Structure 1
Amino acid sequence: MKHVGRRTDPKDIVSRDQLVFRELLTAARNYYVRTDGNDSNTGLSNTAGGAFATIQKAIDTAAALDGSIYQITISIASGTYAGIVLKKYVGSVPIAITGDTTTPANVTITTTAPDCILGEDVGAWKLGGLKLQNTTGGTGLHLRGSTVVAFSGTMEFGACSSRHMFLIAGARLSIEAPWRITGSSPYHVSASVYSFFLVTNQPCTLVGSLAFSASFLECLGSEMRVFGVTFTGSATGARYYVAFNGLIRVYGAGANYLPGDAAGSTDGTGIYL
């Protein structure tokens, strides 16, 4: 019997120049970012002559690696930096972006209209020691789709014109460290379309005269769990809004548990308990 082989489609032929070769890590890797650095540096030493100048350059460089089982950390020195876009990467350990976890305001990401941090379908990341703020538009932390972020060190939120944090289309955020709020926003956390927000046993400090003109928490067709959080300080605005079969679970802490000076509300399908 004559054997008929599979005919190769010319579109399946990939030249060597088209292949992407990733560096395979065999140990943990740390990239450094400083305001006096340069994006033409390697990013591998914490000096002006070795560090990158932008966080985005460090993210792009880390995302081009094969991290394997090793930790990649982006360490950011004190200063003010532009907004960033998280990238999808190869590796089994979440990439960590770390600023000053004692005084997050020393490492500030500030923008005008864009989001401070945007991640869409980028896998798992860790954030800590950053202050996020913007002026005329956008969100502090905007997560979409298959994105999972954990706060591994103290974070701070200054004034944001849209939301401090926005989760949509299945994104997940867990706060695993203390966090601070030092600026107002229409919403502190908004979760929409099957997203998930979790914080347990972490302190939240509100500083100054804060206002949440819409609500502190907004939950639309999603789930938000807030357990054992100690809120210090105060704010004006509604405590929560939950709709479209969403669930805000505070584990019996009561209707006045969340920051705000006005009652929360539902659309009749949402649940707060």
Structure 2
Amino acid sequence: MDRINGAGTIDIGGGRRGFRDENLVAGIEGTEVTALWLNAIQEELLAVIQDAGLAPSAEDWTLLLQALRKQSLKPMTADKTYWVRSDGNDNNDGSANDPAHAFSTLLGAYNSVRSRTFANGYKTVLQLGTAGNYVGLRHDGWPGQIEIKGDAANRANYRLTPVPGDLSCVSVLDGRQLRVSGVSLVGTPGADARCAWAFGGSLELADIDFRSSGVGTLASVLAEASGNVTLLGAIDVYFARASFALCIGGASVYLGNSLVTALINLQSDGLAFDEGFIRVSEGGRVMRRNVTISGFSATGKRYAADLGGIINVSGGGENFFPGSLNGTLATGGQYS
């Protein structure tokens, strides 16, 4: 007898063809359908229904149709805000700032938006509705522009923690655009390599606290693989890594822009940036646009540039960045 295999095809002497009925008169055996294949189909249909936020029910025979309709991508016609709060639910629609409507996680909101909408050139705002700790977000799978928004005046109370497996509180990859404002980025001491990471994508950080309970590795801000990071508004630094900003692989970090000043303020005394407060390598660039730096003093090198990395402070001088040691240049690194 022909048998449906685990891959959902019929094995007939090594060939493949469709189902067939049993015909005893003609001596034709019918197709035997295995439980494995039927279970696989059932699990796949269940996954579609649950991903659409629907609850399986033996009383409703239209769930698959409802799920497919919900999954159809709809073009956005304007910027859209979705609410996220810790007492919400990821099966909600994010339409209001209350437990009955808000999502509970940034990832839940992100997955819902990208599975149902086409950005069409508009921005999606994920607005944190209540103070608290939230796992951050990796923006890598949807071409729309995303903004994560807390409260600039109370950003110490809106805390983003690292994404499991990503080691960053926020990250943007492969040509995507992400803006983060009014939050604290809270790294895990020793384990994580960055609070904010742009790998080939564009990341804008506005009114941000960089916080941690101890010293980690690499840098608070990491830009690489031709990605870029722009710092705007109040940038308060409460802890030190090997560097505050590390820029490599043709990436760029911009300190302010033509319209908004970056106000970098060291909020703790004796912060140690051993590899340079600013470090560039492999063609990376850090560019002064519109920035002031104030607060406590720091120890370590002010900057380090090598392998064609460029730091441009527009004539700000050797002591422009905080630190207790002179900056260093090597193998084509530039500082001006």
Q: So what's the TM-score if we normalise by structure 1?
A: 0.86
Tell me, in whole angstroms, the C-alpha distance in 2 between the residues paired with 1:26 and 1:229: 36
Greater shift, 126-135 or 106-115, is seen at 106-115
Q: What SS does structure 2 have at the residue aligned with 1:102?
A: helix
Q: Any residues of structure 2 matched to 1:32-111 within 5 Å, and which?
A: 32-64=83-115, 65-76=117-128, 77-91=130-144, 94-111=145-162
1:148 alignment partner, one of 186, 202, 219: 202
Please name the residue that 2:299 is paired with: 236
Gaps of 5+ in 2: 1-67
Residue 134 (1) aligns with residue 210 (2): no
CA shift digits 1:95-134 (9 cap, x unpaired): 2111111232111112487221222215112111111122
Q: So what's the TM-score if we normalise by structure 2?
A: 0.70
Q: How far did residue 232 of structure 1 move?
A: 1.2
2:312 alignment partner, one of 239, 243, 249: 249
Tell me, in whole angstroms, the C-alpha distance in 1 between the residues paired with 2:185 and 2:285: 24
Larger RCO: Structure 1 or Structure 2 (Cα < 8 Å, ≥ 6 residues apart)?
Answer: 1
Tell me, in whole angstroms, the C-alpha distance in 2 between the residues paired with 1:100 and 1:177: 13
Residue 203 (1) aligns with residue 263 (2): yes
Q: How far did residue 227 of structure 1 move?
A: 3.5
Q: How far did residue 213 of structure 1 move?
A: 2.5
- Displaced runs of 4+ in structure 1, greater than 4 A? none
Q: What SS does structure 2 have at the residue aligned with 1:178?
A: strand
1:226 alignment partner, one of 273, 288, 292: 288
1:165 alignment partner, one of 221, 224, 228: 221
Q: How far did residue 142 of structure 1 move?
A: 1.4
Tell me, in whole angstroms, the C-alpha distance in 2 between the residues paired with 1:72 and 1:84: 14
2:330 alignment partner, one of 240, 260, 267: 267
Is the 2:143–2:176 contact (alpha carbons within 8 Å) kept by the matching residues of 1? no
Quick one: structure 1 residues 227 and 30, their matched pair in 2 at CA, closer, same or farther if it must change by over 3 Å?
closer
Is the 1:144–1:168 contact (alpha carbons within 8 Å) kept by the matching residues of 2? yes
Q: What SS does structure 2 have at the residue aligned with 1:224?
A: strand
Q: What SS does structure 2 have at the residue aligned with 1:61?
A: helix
Q: How far did residue 208 of structure 1 move?
A: 1.2
Partner amino acid, structure 2, of 1:46: N
Q: What SS does structure 1 have at the residue aligned with 2:110?
A: helix
Q: How far did residue 265 of structure 1 move?
A: 0.4
Please name the residue that 2:41 is paired with: none
Identity of aligned residues (%): 25
Is the 2:139–2:176 contact (alpha carbons within 8 Å) kept by the matching residues of 1? no
Please name the residue that 2:61 is paired with: none
Residue 258 (1) aligns with residue 321 (2): yes
CA shift digits 1:38-76 (9 cap, x unpaired): 112111110011111111112222333212243311101
Please name the residue that 1:181 is paired with: 237
Partner amino acid, structure 2, of 1:165: V
Tell me, in whole angstroms, the C-alpha distance in 2 between the residues paired with 1:42 and 1:98: 18
The structure with more radius of gyration: 2
Partner amino acid, structure 2, of 1:180: D
CA shift digits 1:164-210 (9 cap, x unpaired): 01111100111232211112211111000100111133211110122
Q: How far did residue 237 of structure 1 move?
A: 1.4
Quick one: structure 1 residues 144 and 90, their matched pair in 2 at CA, closer, same or farther if it must change by over 3 Å?
closer
Q: How far did residue 244 of structure 1 move?
A: 0.5
Please name the residue that 2:45 is paired with: none
Q: What SS does structure 1 have at the residue aligned with 2:277?
A: strand
Tell me, in whole angstroms, the C-alpha distance in 1 between the residues paired with 2:324 and 2:290: 20
Q: What SS does structure 1 have at the residue aligned with 2:107?
A: helix
